[in-house]
């Protein structure tokens, strides 16, 4: 069994457990943490995770963040100017772009029931534009079922590091990793 299949099996074992509903949004969030070099392998086998949810009688939806930045940038009135003066874009990235990403995820979450799962792919494409921790902060109180974040990076004692490239942040999501038991 390769690394992605191992993660899918661990995910299946976890997702098939009875879901508690009286949890906070971070506690209803599951991070599937994998080495950044496995991004394409994970994408090729993402159906394993969908099948695991369906097998456990949890409907599955997904959102892909890959095109979030180009879509948002195309909607900007002064997009051409930002290419010439990228420093002018920094504040908008920290506020408006972060909200744009959170709104895309929230729109899916709002349409879901308590027994449904939303898989979020493309988190690594946000690197350099916004912090995923800021996006998650805007989603607090919105998760009714389960939010499954496919996270290219690392996890150690509830500290997550996206692409292993920046200081991590603490988050109380349930981690599914290749090497460790969840630390809660």
The structure tokens 């004692």 sit at 157
pLDDT higher than threshold 90 for residue 172: no
Structural domains in the chain (count): 1
pLDDT digits (tens, 9 = 90+) for 21-73: 899 999 999 999 999 999 999 999 999 999 999 999 999 999 999 999 999 99
**Residue 93 CA to its chain's centroid (Å):** 18
CB of 19 closer than 8 Å to CB of 30: no
* Window from 39-53, 146-160, 166-180 with minimum mean pLDDT: 166-180
pLDDT digits (tens, 9 = 90+) for 132-152: 999 999 999 999 999 999 999
Residue 35 covered by a domain: yes
Helix locations, the chain, DSSP H = 3-15, 39-44, 47-55, 68-74, 79-84, 90-92, 98-110, 132-138
The pLDDT value given to residue 183? 44
Residue 147 covered by a domain: yes
CB of 144 closer than 8 Å to CB of 114: yes
Question: For the packed helices 3-15 and 47-55, what is the interaxial angle rounded to 10 degrees?
Answer: 20
Residue 174 covered by a domain: no
Residue 37 covered by a domain: yes
Residue 49 covered by a domain: yes
Q: What does the block give as tokens for 88? A: 């002018």
Q: Report which of residues 165 and 45 the model is more confident about.
A: 45
Q: By residue range, what is the domain housing residue 63?
A: 3-14+27-167
pLDDT higher than threshold 50 for residue 127: yes
Q: Residue 184: which pLDDT band, with cuts at 50, 70 and 90?
A: very low
Residue 183 covered by a domain: no
Q: Which residues of 34-55 are buried (b: 16+ CB within 10 A; e: fewer)?
A: beeebbeebeebbebbbebbee
Q: What pTM was computed for the model?
A: 0.92
Rounded to whole angstroms, the Cα distance separating 83 from 26 reads 36
How many Cα atoms are found within 13 Å in the side-chain-facing hemisphere of 115? 9
Cβ neighbours, 10 Å, residue 154: 19
């Amino acid at each position: 069994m390769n690394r992605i299949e191992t993660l899918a099996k661990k995910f299946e074992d976890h997702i098939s457990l009875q879901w508690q509903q009286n949890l906070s949004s971070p506690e209803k969030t599951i991070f599937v943490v994998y080495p950044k070099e496995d991004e394409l392998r994970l994408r090729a086998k993402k159906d394993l995770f969908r099948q695991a949810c369906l097998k456990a009688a949890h409907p599955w939806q997904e959102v892909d963040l890959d095109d979030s930045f180009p879509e948002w940038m195309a909607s900007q009135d002064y997009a051409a100017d930002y290419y010439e003066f990228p420093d002018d874009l920094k504040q908008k990235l920290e506020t408006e772009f972060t909200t744009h990403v959170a709104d895309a995820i929230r729109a899916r979450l709002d349409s879901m029931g308590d027994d449904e799962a939303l898989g979020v792919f493309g988190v690594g494409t946000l690197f350099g534009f916004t912090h995923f921790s800021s996006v998650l902060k805007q989603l607090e109180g919105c998760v009714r079922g389960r939010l499954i974040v496919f996270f290219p990076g690392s996890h150690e004692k509830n500290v997550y590091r996206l692409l292993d490239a920046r200081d991590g942040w603490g988050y109380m999501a349930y981690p599914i990793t290749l090497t460790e038991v969840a630390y809660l």
